[in-house]
Amino acid sequence: MRLVIHRDSDKKTHSSSWSLSWEAHCKEQGIPYKILDVFDPGSFRTIMDHDALLMHFSNYSVRDMLYARPILYAAKQRGLRIFPDFFDSWHFDDKIAQSYLLEAADASIPRWNIFYRKSDWQDWVSQNSEWPVVAKLRTGSGAHNVKMIHDRGSAIKYGNKMFSRGFKPNPSVFFKSTSNIRSVKSSEMFFQRARRVPEFFRTWLAAREFPNEKGYVYIQEFIPNAGFDLKVVVVNGKLGYLARRVRHGDFRASGSGDIFYDHSLIDRDLRDQLFDVSDRLQSVCMGFDIVIDEAGNKSKIIEMSYGYAHSAVSKAGVLWKRDGELVEGHLDAPAEILDFIVSY
């Protein structure tokens, strides 16, 4: 088994890139690997000479979003094992695609709606009596592109903008910095985050290349909740999690940086539901964002992504197996992926 691990040679590798962990694990386990930039001219010929291609492609890079999947799927057609494979990656960073798919899989999700015509949106707004609703751009993470619409007037304004100029999908520097500063709990944490400012700046620069999102309105029902959301991941038949408090005076948790662990939040029902959904999606590695309804204790999947902050999930210190067994240990997603690729 000879692996190719993609690493972009003209960008500084982000500290959260899975390619760093893959390389470390390959070295540790003596698995032959080659670091290669799939965007180098002629590199596809080298890829075809290997048995597997691993690519942690990013939603903040236009190049990754346009070309990673064609390269991966072509490599698969050639007979290589790939990560992420089709079922985990075709809907990556596209909440509209995910909603269709999760609905098709009978998953527990918030009521949602998509409007591709301004007149349809206006009709819906004039008839709707349940406010607020949550409006999202198709793309983005860290809650940058998620907002609450409180009333009819704001809904009309939002639609007017989505059906004209649209919104920039890149992260907001102001939102990111205020979230980060507010959730700092110690001076060590402050310096840790300060060291990552240049990294965020590079991400922000790259993400500015994306065109405006427009031509649709995508909404979800607002789920009143107990002030946090969960990231529950199912990878290679194992389940792990982290919990995130919402920002102060805000309903949004993702990107708040205020992470905590409480194993009792991950009950049997939720675990069974996610193992089930992950099977129906034919998924190998998926992070599900979950909001728990304050009233009914019912959990709903609000979005999903094959890539996530794996080290924060591993810090939970536990993982569950499909049969319900709780194991003390660190769920290491890149290592699980490597195991999966090498063994199937």
Ligand X SMILES: Nc1ncnc2c1ncn2[C@@H]1O[C@H](COP(=O)(O)OP(=O)(O)O)[C@@H](O)[C@H]1O
Question: Which range of residues in 36-44, 178-186, 286-294, 326-334 is near Mg ion by CB under 5 A?
Answer: 286-294
The one of Mg ion, ligand X, none whose footprint includes residue 82, by CB under 5 to 8 A per kind, is none
- 98 is a site residue for Mg ion (CB under 5 A): no
- 93 is a site residue for Mg ion (CB under 5 A): no
In one-letter notation, the amino acid at residue 249 is G
Residues 283, 191: Cα–Cα separation, whole Å: 37
Please answer whether residues 253 and 247 qualify as being in contact, where contact means their C-beta atoms are separated by less than 8 angstroms: yes
- 64 is a site residue for Mg ion (CB under 5 A): no
Question: Which range of residues in 4-12, 17-25, 191-199, 285-293 is near Mg ion by CB under 5 A?
Answer: 285-293
* DSSP annotation string for 54-89: E----TT-HHHHHHHHHHHHHHHHHT-EEES-HHHH
Residues 96, 242: Cα–Cα separation, whole Å: 24
**Tokens for 154?**
């704001």
CA quadruple 331, 335, 336, 341: dihedral, nearest 10: 170
With CB under 5 A, what is the number of residues at the site for Mg ion? 2
Q: Which is nearer to ligand X, 25 or 136 (CB)?
A: 136
Looking only at the bridges linking them, the beta strands covering 52-54 and 3-6 are: parallel
The one of ligand X, Mg ion, none whose footprint includes residue 222, by CB under 5 to 8 A per kind, is ligand X
Q: How far is the CB of 300 from ligand X (least distance, A)?
A: 7
Question: Which range of residues in 156-164, 182-190, 249-257, 273-281 is near Mg ion by CB under 5 A?
Answer: 249-257
The one of Mg ion, ligand X, none whose footprint includes residue 140, by CB under 5 to 8 A per kind, is ligand X
Q: Interior CA angle at 181 toward 179 and 182, to 5°?
A: 65
Residue 173's CB is within 10 A of a number of other CB atoms, namely: 11
The residues pairing with 148 across neighbouring beta strands, listed in sequence order, are: 134
- 289 is a site residue for Mg ion (CB under 5 A): yes
Q: How far is the CB of 247 from ligand X (least distance, A)?
A: 9
The one of Mg ion, ligand X, none whose footprint includes residue 220, by CB under 5 to 8 A per kind, is ligand X
Q: How far is the CB of 238 from ligand X (least distance, A)?
A: 22
Binding interface with ligand X (CB under 6 A): 110, 134, 136, 140-146, 220, 222-223, 225, 229, 246, 251-254, 289, 291, 302-303
Q: Which is nearer to ligand X, 78 or 138 (CB)?
A: 138
Residue of 216, 221, 219 whose CA lies nearest to 130: 221
Which residue has tokens 């470390």?
Answer: 24
Q: How far is the CB of 303 from Mg ion (least distance, A)?
A: 5
Among 180, 254, 278, 299, binds Mg ion (CB under 5 A): 254
Residues 284, 230: Cα–Cα separation, whole Å: 19
Rg (CA), the chain: 20
Q: Which is nearer to ligand X, 22 or 308 (CB)?
A: 308
Interface positions with Mg ion (CB under 5 A): 254, 289
